[in-house]
Amino acid sequence: MRRIALTVNGVRREAEVEPRLLLVYFLRETLGLTGTNVGCDTSSCGSCTVMMDGQSVKSCTVLAVQADGSEVATIEGLATNGQLHPLQEAFRNNHGLQCGFCTPGMIMAGLGLIESGAGMDDEEVRLGLEGNLCRCTGYQNIVKAIQEAAGQMRQSAPAVQGGSE
Partner 1 sequence: MEVCGWAPSQVLGTLQYAGGGWERASVRCNPTGKVTVVAGTSPHGQGHSTTFSQIVADDLGVTPDDVEVLAGDTSIATWGLDSYGSRSLSAGGVAIHKAAERVREKARILAAHELEVAEEDLEWTDGKFQVKGAPDRAKTVPELAFSAWAAHNMPEGVDPVLEASAVFDPPNWTYPSGTHICVVEIDPDTGSTRIDRYVAVDDCGTIINPMVVDGQVMGGVAQGIAEALYEEAIYDENGTLLTGNMSTYRVPSAAELPGYTLGKTVTPSSTNPMGVKGIGETGTIAAPPAVMNAVADALRFVGVEFIDKPASAEKIWRVVQQAQGQAPPDRAPEGGGTGAASMTPGVEGGAA
Partner 2 sequence: MTQVAEPEATRWVGGGLKRKEDPKLITGQGRYVDDITLPGMLYLAFARSPVAHANIASIDTSAAKGLPGVVAVYTGPELADEWAAAMPCAWPVTSRTYPGEPTADARVPDHWPVAKDRVRYMGEIVAVVVADSREHAVDATEAVDVDYDELPVVDSIEEAVADGAHVIHEQFDSNELYTWNLRNGDADRVFAEAPVVVSERYFHPRLIANAIEPRGIVAQPVPAQGEFTVWSATQIPHFLRVFLTLLLGIPETKIRVIAPEVGGGFGSKLEIYAEELITVALARKLGAPTKWTETRSEGYLATVQGRGVIQDMEVAATEEGRLLGVRVKLQADMGAYASLCGPGIPILGAFHYHGVYDCEAYSFTCTSVFTNRTPTDAYRGAGRPEATYATERIMDALARRVGKDPAEVRAMNFIPPFDQPRMTAGTLEYDSGNYGAALAKAKELVGYDALRREQQAGDGGRDG
The only residue of 140, 160, 163, 164 in contact with partner 1, by rule CB under 8 A: 140
Contact 65, 26 (CB under 8 A): no
Q: Which residues of the chain form beta strands (DSSP E)?
A: 2-8, 11-17, 49-52, 55-58, 71-73
Under the criterion CB under 8 A, does residue 56 sit at the interface with partner 1?
no
Q: Is 45 in the site for partner 1 (CB under 8 A)?
A: yes
Examine residue 138 and tell whether it contacts partner 1 (CB under 8 A).
yes
Residue 128 makes CB contacts below 8 A (sequence gap 6+) with: 109, 113, 118
Nearest alpha-carbon partner for 110 in 92, 83, 128: 128
Binding site for partner 2 (CB under 8 A): 18, 20, 28-29, 32-42, 45, 47, 74-76, 78-79, 84, 88, 91-93, 95, 97-104, 107, 133-136
Binding site for partner 1 (CB under 8 A): 40-45, 95, 98-100, 122, 125-127, 129-143
